[in-house]
Chain A
């Protein structure tokens, strides 16, 4: 016997750049594909969600105020840090039932996707913005702007690529994100939170709440300081009433596939602002 017992990681939540436990004190057990106990994950409460919305809201204008060049570099830094910890994520994905090859491939694709979206930071305006030839002496242009605070129910499968594919297009333009992650992705999501926490992503830009997504999502849909909800990983049996509550403050609802990669997905988390100014001497 070597006398060394591995130190197991305690998984908590990721809120405003810190790693607190759930205020509720609740946890849930996460098991691997083979049924073996892996870890306890924090079970976020409605109150945790409310606190997280505050953190995401206060981080939003600062993040949106960064230059696009800077946000691009921050996302690229995420790719660097993820790549550096690739083996850890391969292990997490293998625990979730992936073959070594598939696990490696998902990590590589996720790194690639962070890099791909990093590059969109200073290009999306040129693809989605327009200068409009109005019939009069006005300079008229349309620019995209972040919609604000986005709650994202991320897919359980693929855990890392799904999380990456939803979060990166939301934050690259200056939104802040609140990730709701269920049992299938919780450990991957919290490990990615550690990557984000060490990647120059300002606190509050990405927040991760693990727990019962079906229970948290209705509160998010009804929250008046949330601008958009991403339903890519929402449970199929989400009650109609919860979806309808999104109308309470005219939320933007975003649908899509777990591993979409498209500038249209970036666009789904944007508003368009049109500015008019007279031309004259």
Chain B
């Protein structure tokens, strides 16, 4: 790439070394503080989505294995964990936070190898937030009587937690930290394409001396997750993932009247007004849709731009996306890494094809994609109608659908015209308009003049079909205690 004066703007490759990661050839399940082979006798390979090379072979937990893990969690809960003082639970969580800080780079590299996200993100966003999440919740563990005044605080018992592949470690932290802080024990099921960091985390849990059975990790695919969700020994369920699977889990939990938190899909509108700081808004839109290849439930996948500036804004967006570096996720200069799996790449491809077929105008940045691995170029659709699938369905990939609006009222109506309600963005320099919009957008997280910010003290979660319950902060903590008043939902 060269600029107008002919200066070479290419960066030399700057790959992060993988030497910091010691991969085992095979990984067992983490049950009762030990790594054990699955009684199912089944295994699966986890590959690097950027090279398609096998990284390791991982045990696949069957029903009997899930049973063992739930039993270990039950024993730990009843034997000691529920009676372990909050001060002691806090100490374990602080230790976990510290060890994760110390081994942060190792985790970041492994996360990028197994999941395909840019090292810049796993190193600078995911892992710092993971440590922060444990650190924040550590401090709650011995303050629950202040967190929930006038309530008799008690943990649920055994929590079954199923997490996705887009932020494997971060989602593990979001699930584990509040559960442990409140005195629950856990069986965690990581996604089948990204099991490795959860297993490395299990090593850390042993290193900090967390008693056996307090956390158990069962690896596997949908069948393993279903065995955990359906297990009668589980007292609380938490799931982050697709709305489709989330609904199946709610069907099961509703019948059993089981406490449940769901953090599901989204189709967030990023609303740009004519009085926005346009270059900042462009950066925000880029960050909103191409962060983590768009594998983000709260991604700003619909750009709603005011008609008066739409042409200019889309031009700026095209110019900016031409500068995105797509490729080796381990390269420190990479902005957009690999698509997580072949299966997901096929889904993105199909949805983009539907966009073209339905008449939207496609623009992709010209970039050389590597020969091996799973890749998708940053994509923008203009001339998008509300009826188009790319405007209604979650792509969960680097694909932005642009629509326009004339008035703030129209922006609100279009932004809310979706069964989802996870997040939304507002770009305007007018403070009163920020709050007017923020009040009316039916979404659990509203980013105004910023996007995709996360913090352990800040509750995150959806309205409508994006789920219920929050993660982070005081409200997130509430999902892991029973309500003494008999109120639950």
Q: Which residues of A are at the interface with B, using a C-beta cutoff of 8 A?
A: 128, 130, 132-136, 138, 140, 142, 147, 227-228, 240, 243-250, 252-257, 260, 262, 264-265, 267-268, 271-278
Taken together as a complex, chains A and B put the C-alpha atoms of A228 and B468 apart, in Å, by 11
Taken together as a complex, chains A and B put the C-alpha atoms of A86 and B474 apart, in Å, by 42
Nearest CB in chain A: distance from B1 CB, A:
31
A275 close to B446 (CB less than 8 A) = yes
A247 close to B445 (CB less than 8 A) = no
26 contacts between A and B (CB under 8 A): A130-B459, A130-B473, A130-B475, A132-B459, A134-B458, A136-B455, A138-B450, A140-B458, A240-B255, A243-B255, A244-B252, A244-B255, A247-B246, A247-B251, A248-B247, A250-B468, A254-B487, A255-B486, A256-B486, A260-B487, A264-B483, A268-B488, A268-B489, A273-B438, A274-B459, A275-B445
Contacts of A264 in B (CB 8 A): 151, 483, 485, 487
Taken together as a complex, chains A and B put the C-alpha atoms of A122 and B475 apart, in Å, by 19
Taken together as a complex, chains A and B put the C-alpha atoms of A159 and B449 apart, in Å, by 50
Q: Nearest A residue to B455 by beta-carbon distance?
A: A134
A249 close to B489 (CB less than 8 A) = no
Nearest CB in chain B: distance from A126 CB, A:
13
Extra A-B contacts (5), CB below 8 Å, given A228-B489, A255-B487: A134-B458, A253-B489, A255-B486, A271-B444, A278-B450
B457 close to A133 (CB less than 8 A) = yes
B254: CB under 8 A from chain A? yes
Contacts of A250 in B (CB 8 A): 243, 246-247, 250, 262, 264, 464-468
Q: Which residues of B are at the interface with A, using a C-beta cutoff of 8 A?
A: 132, 151, 243, 246-252, 254-255, 257, 262, 264, 419, 434, 438, 443-450, 453, 455, 457-461, 463-468, 470, 473-475, 483, 485-489
Nearest CB in chain A: distance from B480 CB, A:
15
In the complex, the number of residue pairs spanning A and B with C-beta atoms less than 8 Å apart equals 134
Give the contacting residue for B445; candidates A246, A268, A276; CB below 8 A. Answer: A276
Contacts of A265 in B (CB 8 A): 485, 487
Taken together as a complex, chains A and B put the C-alpha atoms of A272 and B421 apart, in Å, by 12
Give the contacting residue for A273; candidates B252, B443, B465, B467; CB below 8 A. Answer: B443
B457 close to A134 (CB less than 8 A) = yes
Contacts of B444 in A (CB 8 A): 271-274
Taken together as a complex, chains A and B put the C-alpha atoms of A253 and B438 apart, in Å, by 26
A248-B247, A250-B247 known; A255-B460 Cβ under 8 A = no
Taken together as a complex, chains A and B put the C-alpha atoms of A264 and B485 apart, in Å, by 8
Contacts of B243 in A (CB 8 A): 250
Nearest CB in chain B: distance from A186 CB, A:
25
Taken together as a complex, chains A and B put the C-alpha atoms of A253 and B253 apart, in Å, by 11
Q: Nearest B residue to A245 by beta-carbon distance?
A: B251
Give the contacting residue for A272; candidates B455, B459, B485; CB below 8 A. Answer: B459
Taken together as a complex, chains A and B put the C-alpha atoms of A142 and B472 apart, in Å, by 11
Give the contacting residue for A255; candidates B468, B473, B489; CB below 8 A. Answer: B489
Nearest CB in chain A: distance from B140 CB, A:
13
Taken together as a complex, chains A and B put the C-alpha atoms of A240 and B258 apart, in Å, by 13
Contacts of B461 in A (CB 8 A): 272
Taken together as a complex, chains A and B put the C-alpha atoms of A244 and B434 apart, in Å, by 38
Taken together as a complex, chains A and B put the C-alpha atoms of A147 and B483 apart, in Å, by 20
B475 close to A247 (CB less than 8 A) = no
Nearest CB in chain A: distance from B154 CB, A:
14
Contacts of A246 in B (CB 8 A): 250, 254
Contacts of A254 in B (CB 8 A): 487-489
Q: Nearest A residue to B465 by beta-carbon distance?
A: A250
A276 close to B448 (CB less than 8 A) = yes
B255 close to A275 (CB less than 8 A) = no
Contacts of A228 in B (CB 8 A): 489
Nearest CB in chain B: distance from A132 CB, A:
5
Q: Nearest B residue to A280 by beta-carbon distance?
A: B449
Taken together as a complex, chains A and B put the C-alpha atoms of A227 and B257 apart, in Å, by 18
Listed from nearest, the 9 A-B pairs whose CB atoms lie closest are A247-B250, A134-B455, A244-B251, A262-B485, A247-B247, A240-B255, A247-B251, A132-B457, A264-B487
A134-B458, A250-B467, A252-B468 known; A244-B254 Cβ under 8 A = yes
| Among B250, B255, B487: residue with most chain A CB under 10 A | B487
Taken together as a complex, chains A and B put the C-alpha atoms of A140 and B438 apart, in Å, by 12
Taken together as a complex, chains A and B put the C-alpha atoms of A174 and B250 apart, in Å, by 26
A130-B474, A132-B458, A273-B444 known; A253-B450 Cβ under 8 A = no
Contacts of A262 in B (CB 8 A): 485, 487
Nearest CB in chain A: distance from B348 CB, A:
24
Q: Nearest A residue to B257 by beta-carbon distance?
A: A255
Contacts of A268 in B (CB 8 A): 487-489
Contacts of B458 in A (CB 8 A): 132, 134, 140, 142, 274, 276
A277 close to B434 (CB less than 8 A) = yes
Contacts of B254 in A (CB 8 A): 243-244, 246-247, 253
Taken together as a complex, chains A and B put the C-alpha atoms of A7 and B10 apart, in Å, by 91
Contacts of A244 in B (CB 8 A): 250-252, 254-255
Contacts of A271 in B (CB 8 A): 444, 463, 468
Nearest CB in chain A: distance from B395 CB, A:
20
Taken together as a complex, chains A and B put the C-alpha atoms of A254 and B260 apart, in Å, by 12
Q: Nearest A residue to B260 by beta-carbon distance?
A: A253
Nearest CB in chain B: distance from A71 CB, A:
16
Contacts of B264 in A (CB 8 A): 250
Give the contacting residue for B460; candidates A243, A274, A277; CB below 8 A. Answer: A274
Nearest CB in chain B: distance from A215 CB, A:
19
| Among B250, B458, B485: residue with most chain A CB under 10 A | B458
Contacts of B470 in A (CB 8 A): 272
A247 close to B489 (CB less than 8 A) = no
A274-B458, A277-B450 known; A252-B247 Cβ under 8 A = no
Contacts of B419 in A (CB 8 A): 249
A132-B459, A250-B243 known; A260-B446 Cβ under 8 A = no
Contacts of B252 in A (CB 8 A): 244
B247 close to A277 (CB less than 8 A) = no
Give the contacting residue for B486; candidates A134, A227, A257; CB below 8 A. Answer: A257
Nearest CB in chain A: distance from B451 CB, A:
9
Taken together as a complex, chains A and B put the C-alpha atoms of A136 and B457 apart, in Å, by 11
Nearest CB in chain A: distance from B321 CB, A:
23
Contacts of A132 in B (CB 8 A): 455, 457-459, 473
A130-B475, A244-B255, A276-B448 known; A249-B465 Cβ under 8 A = yes
Taken together as a complex, chains A and B put the C-alpha atoms of A16 and B467 apart, in Å, by 29
Give the contacting residue for A142; candidates B247, B473, B485; CB below 8 A. Answer: B473
Nearest CB in chain A: distance from B216 CB, A:
27
A142 close to B459 (CB less than 8 A) = yes
B257 close to A275 (CB less than 8 A) = no
Contacts of A134 in B (CB 8 A): 453, 455, 457-458
| Among A247, A255, A256: residue with most chain B CB under 10 A | A247
